[in-house]
Chains A and B, each alone.
Chain A
Amino acid sequence: MSINRNTAPEFKNITSFDLLPIETFELNNGIKVHLMQAGSQEVAKLDFLFPAGSVHASKPLLASITNKALTEGTKNMPGAEVSEKIDFFGAFIGQQASFHHAVVTLVSLSHFLPQTLEILEDVIKNPVFDQKEIDTLISNRKQEYLIESDKVKTIATRAFTQNLYGKNHPYGNFVTLNDFENITQDDVIDFHQNGYIPQGTHIIISGQPGRNIKELLNKHFGQQWSDKAPLSNPGPDNKEEIKHQIFIEKADAVQSAIKIGIPLFDKQHPDFHGMQILNTILGGFFGSRLMTNIREEKGLTYSISSFIMTYKHAGFLVIGSDVKAENRDIAVNEIFNELRLLRDEKIPEQELEMVRNFLLGDMVRNFDGPFATSDNYRGLIDLDITPDYFHEFFQVLSTITADDLQCLAQKYFKEEDFISVIAGQ
């Protein structure tokens, strides 16, 4: 059998987008539950999203310290016992405070859910926030902060967001060593009472939690354990002047970190989907313009990429890379060159088709199975957006033209709007 290795085999295009059905219901106290029941393994993941993110907190670090301290001991058992039990059931509790929510995740074998949910109830409702445990968390967190502060990439990222959102709003990511001394036990107790409440809380379930999951959740989380309303969460006021060039010297750095970007908008903006596709072409995947030019043709860096970050009422696009000092200026020039090309020239049809197909495949990957689906869905709940968002993106992706993309580049990739941050040499 002779085969032709020069020609690609036939392939099929992806022409539809299927989202796993999401069942929604409310617990007796109004907590909204989103259930994605699927999968061949008897396991389940439950994400609890509480209105206790950093935008709700009065001080930096308060949201994340409170979130981490939940598992350090309850009225009924010390922290060691909480860990001991969760580990014994082969389960896992994840904790993470984001901007708009504090998340507590339980991953458990389905048949142990009655036991693991009972522990989780205690952790969420009855933490004691022992002073010693808070101190331990703060000193460990401070060390992580110092280590992060040593990385040029982190230095540049922090400078970029501070520049956009100021030092007073959580989006700015401005934390000083002083902030670690300013968190008191009372702050944590108070923030817990006001943030870990039924109102404004969501539970996202994926996997095979079993038929009685609604009853189980009502048993542990369905009572009106607090009648408080969520804390306010103001957006940034954007009063400060934005600088367009920032250089932070770190003389001993082997490489310099580059962050170049522009303020954009939230996910609800009519141009958002188009910009997401334009961003992919620019630096959103291995075959992107930036990766092809700056890594694969010139070998200036190990990695270069761009991404769009969105908050509830804001967003930005940023390009990032680490390069050796002597290549810094060439890399920066090439980045602006690629932005100019997107403004000046229409994207060739073949490239657009490749990016379209790649992103369609990516959608299938991102929504493959209950766990991947719930991770993506969680990002929407966090920002109060409905799943229609995914279908709209699929529509835009299937129909967008090279002309549309060039228009977007001309509208948003104006050279004078870009902010350049360099950390290193």
Chain B
Amino acid sequence: MINIEKRTLSNGLRVVCHVDKTTPLAAINILYNVGSKNETPDKTGFAHLFEHLMFGGSKNIPSYDAPLQMVGGDNNAWTSCDITNYYLTLPADNIETGFWLESDRLLELDFSEKSLEVQRKVVVEEFKQRYLNQPYGDIPLLISPLAYKVHPYQWPTIGKELSHIENATLDDVKSFFYSHYAPNNAVLCVAGNVDPDKVFRLAEKWFGPIPFRSLSQDNIPVEPKQIEERKLDVERKVPADMIHKVFHIGGRMDDDFYTTDLLSDVLSNGPSARLNQSLVKEQQLFSEVNAYITGDHHPGLFTVTGRLLPGTSIEEAELSILNELDKISSESIGDYELQKVKNKIESTLVFSEISFLNKAMNLASFELLGKAEDINNEVEKYQAVTSQGILDCAQKTFTSSNSSTLYYRSSQ
């Protein structure tokens, strides 16, 4: 059971505190409810570019990193299609430095032409390093627009194309900041060796004076139900063929999230899972297979993917995956197999509660989606999943008209 205390400041900032006395450190995690889903089709990759700019200095503090390093701290950040998450860890005694730094960059960034120019280049190089100069790196750029036709999940977080980043102006950046970065659009979570009263006092002192901001009303279009099977066939200079299949599922807060998650676990969580045993070990068609769900806030995707061994045709590979999906859609799984995936989830959750930083990130995320206390009901929700539920979920999900398939062929 994770202990939690919460307050909401008058400007709308939600503050969550978790005490963990086993560490001499503390984590400050602040998430903003903005991701690539809040971008428009002609300006993609902005949420992520913006994450880079958040390290370029703020109104009263020219450098974000140096003062934090000076007190023994470290930090990083990541952007997803739903949120932008910033975190730092430092000796618990020096926690006020973290409040000072985080509050100043929420108050006002130092919008400098120089910082924008440099970070545009850095992000372009990141785009190349991660998506263009890696074998299979462009799969996210191909699969997202195949699966989504209307919803902004159709482009990956890095953006649709390099030019969107290259053409970003300071005005674009400023308007993005004021319409999404606001105390009333953020969750602050502090975890570690801290005193909650002091945390709330510091939160009031540093974040309290930042005004409430009216947010832009993003009208994020709803993805219509897919009614036809989609396929894309590409050829690249890679050593082996890959197949990548996705199916539409619900969002993180939908009732059947836990059922869908366990469905993916039955297929591929751990070496004994069905796809690993059947397709890698017994039939030896793939060198690697995987099944996972995105857990996105809006309706997301169930992915089944695999890298083929030489001698396996891509059609044969697809058929073997479909056979496994048919099997799980027609026969309900036994009690033993269901218990196995539940045990696995339960121990994964226990392990995830070791790290105070992990807890800070998860608590902020739960608070954004509903309430932080929900973190303590996770095991129960997974335990409530039934084999009938998994069967229903598989039947609903694994239909050809709900699928998009990428054949990623080797030209070598």
Contacts and interface: CB of A to CB of B under 8 A. Distances in A.
Contacts of B288: 140
Nearest to A71: B271
B339 interface: yes
Given A87-B272, A297-B118, A369-B22, A287 B346 contact: no
A149 B412 CA distance: 14
Contact of B70 (A41, A253, A323, A357): A357
Contact of A84 (B24, B134, B272, B310): B272
Interface in B1-31: 20, 22-25
Contacts of A353: 70
A361 interface: yes
A41 B351 contact: yes
A113 B48 CA distance: 44
A369 B129 CA distance: 34
B11 to A, nearest CB: 15
B121 A299 contact: yes
Contacts of B273: 87
A11 B93 contact: yes
B119 A139 contact: no
Question: Could you say which interface size class chain A belongs to?
Answer: 35 or more
Given A39-B22, A139-B309, A364-B24, A109 B69 contact: no
A152 B128 CA distance: 12
B71 A11 contact: yes
B281 A143 contact: no
A39 B20 CA distance: 11
10 contacts: A39-B354, A43-B354, A87-B272, A90-B347, A136-B284, A147-B240, A152-B133, A323-B125, A357-B69, A358-B73
B145 interface: no
B118 A364 contact: no
A285 B69 CA distance: 10
Contacts of B67: 8
B396 to A, nearest CB: 26
B90 interface: yes
The main secondary structure of chain A at its interface with chain B is: mixed
A365 B205 contact: no
A377 interface: no
B209 interface: yes
User: Considering residues B61, B66, B107, which has the most beta carbons from chain A within 10 angstroms of its beta carbon?
Assistant: B66
A364 B93 CA distance: 13
Given A299-B118, A302-B125, A11 B97 contact: yes
A255 B128 contact: yes
Interface string B297-312: 0000000000101100
Given A87-B271, A87-B273, A140-B287, A361 B74 contact: yes
A83 B272 contact: yes
Nearest to B72: A361
A211 interface: no
Interface in B70-129: 70-74, 89-91, 93-94, 96-97, 99-100, 103-104, 107, 117-123, 125-126, 128-129
B132 interface: yes
B135 interface: yes
A287 B65 contact: yes
A302 B122 contact: yes
Given A83-B271, A90-B347, A354-B69, A254 B281 contact: no
Interface of B: 20, 22-25, 59-61, 65-67, 69-74, 89-91, 93-94, 96-97, 99-100, 103-104, 107, 117-123, 125-126, 128-130, 132-136, 205-206, 209, 237-240, 269-273, 276-277, 280-281, 284, 287-288, 307, 309-310, 336, 339-340, 343-348, 350-351, 353-354
B279 to A, nearest CB: 12
Contacts of A49: none
Given A5-B60, A146-B240, A322-B129, A361 B23 contact: no
A47 B108 CA distance: 48
A391 interface: no
Contact of A150 (B22, B239, B281, B354): B239
Given A88-B340, A364-B25, A80 B347 contact: no
A314 to B, nearest CB: 30
Given A90-B347, A140-B287, A365 B25 contact: yes
B96 A9 contact: yes
Contacts of B24: 364, 368
Nearest to A368: B23
Nearest to B133: A254
Interface in A24-47: 38-43
Contacts of B90: 361
Nearest to A90: B347
A297 B25 CA distance: 31
Main secondary structure of the interface of B (DSSP, over half): helix
A150 B350 contact: no
A252 B237 contact: yes
Nearest to B119: A299
B89 A365 contact: yes
Nearest to B311: A139
Contact of A14 (B72, B126, B310, B339): B72
Contact of A87 (B71, B238, B284, B344): B344
Contact of A369 (B23, B66, B128, B135): B23
A165 to B, nearest CB: 26
Contacts of B122: 295, 299, 301-302
Given A71-B271, A89-B343, 10 more contacts: A80-B281, A88-B339, A88-B340, A143-B309, A255-B129, A296-B118, A297-B118, A358-B74, A365-B89, A369-B22
Contacts of B271: 71, 83, 86-87
Contacts of B310: 139, 143
Interface string A126-152: 000000000010011001101101111
Nearest to A84: B272
Contacts of B73: 358, 361
A92 B347 CA distance: 10
A307 to B, nearest CB: 16
Contact of B117 (A43, A144, A299): A299
A364 B72 contact: yes
B346 A90 contact: yes
A262 interface: no
Given A88-B339, A362-B74, A5 B61 contact: yes
Contacts of B119: 299
Contacts of B118: 295-299
A419 interface: no
A239 interface: no
Nearest to A361: B72
5 A-B pairs closest in CB distance: A361-B72, A90-B347, A299-B121, A83-B272, A146-B239
